[in-house]
Amino acid sequence: MNYTTDCLIIGSGAAGLTLALGLAEKTKVIVLSKETACAGSTNYAQGGIAGVYNIKDDDDSIAAHIKDTCIAGGYLCDEKTVEFVAKNAHDAIQWLIDSGVPFDLKEEKATDEQSPYHLHREGGHSHRRIFHAEDHTGKSIQETLTALARKHPNITLLENHNAIDLVTTRKLGLPGNRVIGAYVLNNETSHVETISAKFIALCTGGASKVYQYTCNPEVSSGDGIAMAYRAGCRVANMEFNQFHPTTLYCDADRNFLLTEALRGEGAQLKRPDGTRFMQDYDERLELAPRDIVARAIDHEMKKLGADCMYLDISFKEPEFVKKHFPTIYERCLKVGIDITKRPIPIVPAAHFTCGGIMVDNNARTDIENLYAVGECAYTGLHGANRLASNSLLECVVYGKAAATHILKHLSDAEIADIPDWDESQVTNSDEEVIITHNWHELRLTMWDYVGIVRTNKRLERAMHRIELLKKEVHEYYSNFRVTRNLLELRNLLDVAEIIVKSAMMRKESRGLHYNLDYPNLEEHSGPTILNP
């Protein structure tokens, strides 16, 4: 089946649904999702959404939010972008409230001048400014926006559909480089379909699945970044991969993230012998930015030969812990850990892609009529390290900005015909083991050589292995029918190559990129930009 629409949105998280709902009052939209609409990273975001909502509550300010973001980002953030996002935080949060997201309220009644919302504080933030719905904020946002999208007559939600590649005028030998559609694999029928569109928005999330250990869901395979790069978009800062310091260390539940809000409420990081260690690394202790905390945990584990470190909130009142962190309490209890009585074993895991497809403040990419929103995009907000809870904010602010810009130019664009996908020269594969083997090799290579701490030699080894794997997979892709596993592996190999190239270009250690061969900061530093 082939489709035609005004706007195709690839990805159904906070970024994609904010954009879809912003467009749907005036135009037809198709939202594409690899699995169910709720399978992406938004659904798993525990902490919340950062923003200065009401400065009458305390001495917080937009200027303080900007400053905290730039400090956490290793002063590699684009200050105009940070200001743009921080100033639009109030409207973004109000839109979520108006949409029905149930953010937690204060226990005591607020005065007329005060905000009624209970706010968390997380690492890198100088004030409490994190709006949250208990410890499952992302889930609340995802479910609220998905319900609105499903009810809207102008939004068609295509679940279990994998985008394969963008179709541009350049690829078809036509003038310019304008996006006109996409090839899509229907995972239920295993047939490739075409979608023609006036505008396309990539809202596909990050690429943390490129690492062996990640707290991200299965769908985080860098699809949008890879597709955009192949189509001719620049990408930036892909060497900055954020490793969340605290994920549950347990064979029964390896990918479960433990929100930074735990440390915001006083949880302490400890060695196996029960002693604290963050005082040896940063005066902000457990509230230091994520890059510092992750490296500290990694260093302690290697120094002691330990499998994990520990996060302890058991000294707090049990009812406080259960009220503010019910999801974490129940999840840990299922694997035999009562967090009100004992510390939680933790390890760092790949969590967030701070770089991505280069966009402006309307979310426009280098290709005409192609937009990118959310984790797959590089706006300049995150710099060398993302400040906690700025990611959901970025999704909503840029989703709204993209919707406004697309609606202004809707009448300027035209639908173009795209040729059907040609499967006449390919066959079904009887060697699926090749995909599985290469998949594991890539992710282990990235974890071992391009992880929390890097060296020039490790990066060279990683690049050599990636080049060999890309050659194998390209041959496989050319001869056999596409499958979801093949498409994701192809995209992750492209993204892995981009990450390593970017890491090789940066001759310093800054934020999330730590290279033992270049331990110091460069005096004049900027974003790492790759042209395809």
CA–CA dist 202, 148 (Å, integer): 20
Neighbours of 83 (CB within 10 A): 17
CA–CA dist 164, 151 (Å, integer): 28
Q: In what order do the strands lie in the sheet with 309-312?
A: 241-248, 344-353, 309-312, 268-270
Cα angle 245, 493, 160 (rounded to 5 degrees) comes to 85
Neighbours of 378 (CB within 10 A): 28
Q: Any catalytic annotation for residue 290?
A: yes
**Which among 290, 386, 443, 454 is annotated as catalytic?**
290
Rg (CA), the chain: 22
DSSP, residue by residue, 183-224: EEEETTTTEEEEEEEEEEEE-----GGGSSSBSS-TT-S-HH
**462 token code pair:** 């990683």
Whether 146 contacts 12, CB under 8 Å: yes
CA–CA dist 464, 462 (Å, integer): 5
The SS3 call for residue 348 is: strand
Whether 238 contacts 532, CB under 8 Å: no
For residue 446, which of 248, 234, 253, 213 has the smallest C-alpha distance?
A: 213
- What residues are labeled active site? 290
